[in-house]
């Protein structure tokens, strides 16, 4: 469900350096987080220390204190505003600009925020945008002397013409790889259910960024130790069996959803950590340290993973001024799930400049793949992207022609992937252990965590071997079980068949026959499963499937290309590329009686606009001056079902 009223776009603006602002605002944009009272008190203490240092001119110390305040409460716009001012005094223009943007995004109706960003934009030499920022602030607070002065000063600077040193010559056209002078790289991040990775455009191509151990994919795991230390990635995953309650994973499956949703209820029974219902029925994750319980929003766990992606980028690239990212989501993510992803980015200190669909990002990687040439450069090609990851599944059909990527249709399941295959294996192993060795695991969470890890290894093993040995330790004894490939396939046949049904539906929506598909591209680690490949081969007449792109990295690769385009990179591969996506779900409004009237059918090319005429349901409405309109997305005929529908 999305609001019926249109949300105003966030204008640009800021607050000038020279004074740290203490004012708060009741119109703060709410991000899903579970900051408790103790954290807010700590944040207030750090803020007070920062203000004191700022007043004394100790700007570096002020930045540290404001950063600590943000760590305690990342939803308070004033902390970002104050840190922006301190950064500006230190000459850290890019950091000041990033903080000012976060301030405005968190509180779009706080006039002083626009003044702060106006000052940062002015310092960056972006005078036209600075003027727009001040004007945006004046619309909210017409009598502000600070905003008026800022606008007038920028207007004078614009009339005076470009400053010395501006307007530097650009290298020439097609093969040049340059960005606008005032921009920094935009990261491409694949925020996966089980694994995540990050990439960036550098020196005319995409560079995948590795973690400290040289891995390009990082487990989407977050754990908290008794000492309070937070672990992210591989370090969190390897200790999961010993720290069951405080190790969190698969959070993407509950992101942006309600605790009352049937699917979330199923997840709460499967996951070893505790989910509870919070405000607005959102699921919250229970963290227990030193006998005290703290509630975390799913966005906070996703933010920790995104923060790790940012840290990896800063470490590999040797710079800390990169704060923008293109983040990918499943094509079938709804509006609430996409907004929750953006909120997670904000908490991580990232400006999510665009959210793009995972299969679309993978299509970009395919289209620009050096091993196969640029697809569709001349005659065009119909391409089916089959994206089966750790927790979600997407299928998209695209027409690629002359650098234009046009999505024809998309479909999928946000609860189908490698984790489901693992769960089927876990169930089999637990039952086999009980049958063969008379060992009942019961509700032993640590034992189940160890079996879950063993099941994942066995799944990978049977993709290359006929039989996998599974070692399970329980009750001081070691047990050896076997999982054959044929058994694995029979356990998961229903899931595999379900993927093929989605392929058929998407082809039908795209009005294409299997014979009209020029290439089938495999994306996601679960596409390495032999039976998945065999089913697709058979359906598409025995043709070879495209494996030229790395299934684990393709999505981040495409996101990095999109980031380069948004950053203003001038390179033939970027400037010639155009994305044309579609709506994954139908959009409509609620009519009298709770019926859904579809205005924009699923798989409609976007951007788009539709117009329909409706009448009021009773005579009293004939003279109404306003009307509440509720907008829904989904395919069911009545809105009550849509409220609880999972895509």
HEC sequence for 334-355:
CHHHHHHHHHHHHHCCCEEEEE
Residue 517 and residue 525: Cα distance in Å, rounded? 22
Name the catalytic one among 102, 129, 308, 387.
387
Q: Between 467 and 162, where is the model more confident?
A: 467
**Is 252 noted as a catalytic residue in this protein?**
yes
**183: pLDDT confidence band, cut at 50, 70 and 90?**
low
How confident is the model over 444-458, as pLDDT tens digits?
888 899 999 999 999
**Is 592 noted as a catalytic residue in this protein?**
no
Task: Give the number of C-alpha atoms closer than 13 A to the C-alpha of residue 378, restricted to the C-beta side.
Answer: 1
Residue 372 and residue 267: Cα distance in Å, rounded? 40
| Helices 335-347 and 298-317, packing angle to 10 deg | 50
**27: pLDDT confidence band, cut at 50, 70 and 90?**
very low
Mean pLDDT on 562-572: 86
Name the catalytic one among 94, 112, 123, 252.
252
Architecture of domain 37-159: Alpha Horseshoe (1.25)
**Is 190 noted as a catalytic residue in this protein?**
yes
Report CA-CA distances (Å) from 42 to 39, 62, 64, 69, 183. Answer: 5, 15, 14, 7, 34
Give the pLDDT confidence score for residue 390 in this predicted structure: 93
Name the catalytic one among 102, 190, 369, 406.
190
**620: pLDDT confidence band, cut at 50, 70 and 90?**
low
Task: Sketch the domain layout of the chain as residue ranges.
Answer: 37-159, 587-644
Name the catalytic one among 358, 369, 422, 553.
358
Q: Between 92 and 539, where is the model more confident?
A: 539
How confident is the model over 360-409, as pLDDT tens digits?
999 999 988 744 445 555 568 999 999 999 999 999 999 998 788 999 99
| Helices 77-90 and 37-55, packing angle to 10 deg | 30
Beta-bridged to residue 283, according to DSSP, are 277
Query: Which of 440, 441, 368 is closest to 405 using CA atoms?
Result: 368
Residue 136 and residue 422: Cα distance in Å, rounded? 52
Residue 115 has pLDDT above 60, yes or no: yes
Q: Which residues of 398-430 are buried (b: 16+ CB within 10 A; e: fewer)?
A: bbbbebbbbbbbbbbbbbbbbbbbbebbbebbb
Output the average pLDDT for the chain. Answer: 85
Mean pLDDT on 19-33: 38
* Three-class secondary structure assignment of 355-396: EEEHHHHHHHHHHCCCCCCCCCCCCCEEEEEEEECCCCEEEE
Residue 209 and residue 217: Cα distance in Å, rounded? 9
Helices (H), 1-126: 37-55, 59-72, 77-90, 93-106, 111-123
Q: Between 563 and 569, where is the model more confident?
A: 563
**Is 553 noted as a catalytic residue in this protein?**
no
The SS3 of residue 410 is strand
How confident is the model over 257-283, as pLDDT tens digits?
999 998 899 999 999 999 999 988 999
Mean pLDDT on 612-638: 79
Give the pLDDT confidence score for residue 53 in this predicted structure: 85
Tokens of 119: 């000052």
């Amino acid at each position: 469900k999305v609001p019926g009223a249109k949300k105003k776009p966030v204008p640009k603006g800021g607050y000038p350096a020279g004074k740290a602002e203490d004012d708060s605002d009741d119109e703060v944009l709410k991000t899903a987080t579970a900051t408790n009272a103790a954290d807010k008190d700590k944040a207030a203490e750090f803020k007070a220390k920062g203000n004191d240092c700022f007043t004394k001119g100790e700007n570096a110390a002020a930045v540290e204190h404001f950063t600590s305040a943000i760590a305690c409460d990342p939803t308070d716009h004033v902390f970002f505003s104050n840190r922006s001012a301190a950064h500006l005094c230190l000459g850290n223009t890019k950091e000041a600009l990033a903080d000012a943007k976060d301030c405005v995004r968190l509180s779009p109706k706080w006039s002083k925020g626009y003044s702060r960003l106006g000052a940062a934009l002015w310092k960056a030499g972006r005078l036209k945008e600075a003027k727009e920022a001040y004007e945006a602030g004046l619309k909210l607070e017409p009598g502000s002397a600070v905003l008026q002065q800022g606008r007038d000063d920028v207007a004078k600077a614009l009339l005076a013409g470009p400053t010395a040193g501006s307007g530097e010559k650009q290298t020439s056209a097609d093969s040049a790889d340059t960005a606008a002078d005032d921009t920094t790289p935009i990261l491409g991040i694949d925020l996966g259910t089980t694994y995540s990775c990050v990439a960036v455009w550098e020196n005319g191509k995409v560079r995948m960024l590795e973690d400290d151990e040289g891995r390009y994919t990082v487990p989407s795991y977050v754990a908290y130790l008794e000492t309070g230390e937070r672990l992210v990635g591989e370090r969190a995953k390897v200790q999961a069996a010993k720290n069951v309650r405080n190790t969190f994973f698969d959070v993407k499956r509950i992101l942006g959803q309600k605790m009352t949703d049937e699917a979330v209820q199923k997840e709460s029974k499967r996951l070893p950590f505790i989910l509870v219902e919070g405000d607005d029925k959102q699921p919250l994750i229970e963290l227990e340290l030193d006998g005290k319980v703290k509630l975390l929003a799913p966005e906070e766990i996703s933010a920790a993973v995104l923060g790790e992606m940012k840290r990896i980028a800063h470490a590999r690239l040797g710079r800390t001024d990169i704060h923008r990212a293109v983040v990918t989501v499943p094509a079938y993510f709804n509006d609430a799930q996409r907004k929750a992803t953006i909120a997670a980015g904000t908490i991580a200190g990232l400006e999510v400049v665009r959210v793009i669909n995972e299969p679309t990002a993978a299509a970009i990687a395919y289209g620009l793949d050096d091993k196969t040439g640029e697809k569709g450069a001349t005659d065009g090609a119909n391409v089916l992207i089959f994206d089966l990851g750790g927790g979600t599944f997407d299928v998209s059909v695209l027409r690629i022609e002359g650098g234009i990527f046009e999505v024809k249709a998309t479909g999928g399941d946000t609860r189908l992937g490698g984790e489901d295959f693992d769960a089927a294996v876990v169930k089999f192993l637990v039952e086999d252990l009980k049958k063969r060795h008379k060992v009942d695991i019961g509700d032993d969470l640590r034992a189940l965590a160890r079996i879950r890890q063993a099941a994942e290894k066995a799944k990978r093993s049977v993709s290359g071997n006929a039989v996998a040995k599974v070692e399970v330790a329980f009750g001081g004894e070691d047990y050896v079980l076997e999982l054959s490939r044929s058994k694995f396939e029979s356990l998961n046949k229903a899931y595999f068949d379900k993927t093929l049904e989605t392929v058929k539906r998407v082809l039908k929506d795209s009005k294409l026959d299997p014979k009209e598909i020029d290439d089938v591209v495999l994306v996601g680690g679960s596409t390495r499963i032999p039976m998945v490949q065999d089913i697709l081969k058979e359906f598409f007449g025995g043709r070879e499937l495209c494996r030229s792109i790395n299934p684990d990295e393709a999505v981040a690769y495409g996101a990095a290309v999109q980031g380069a385009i948004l950053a203003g990179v001038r390179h033939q591969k970027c400037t010639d590329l155009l994305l044309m996506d579609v709506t994954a779900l139908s959009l409509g409004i609620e009519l009298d009686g709770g019926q859904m009237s579809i205005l924009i059918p699923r798989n409609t090319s976007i951007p788009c606009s539709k117009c329909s005429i409706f009448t009021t349901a009773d005579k009293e409405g004939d003279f109404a001056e306003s009307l509440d309109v509720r907008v829904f997305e989904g395919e069911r005929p009545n809105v009550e079902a849509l409220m609880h529908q999972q895509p």
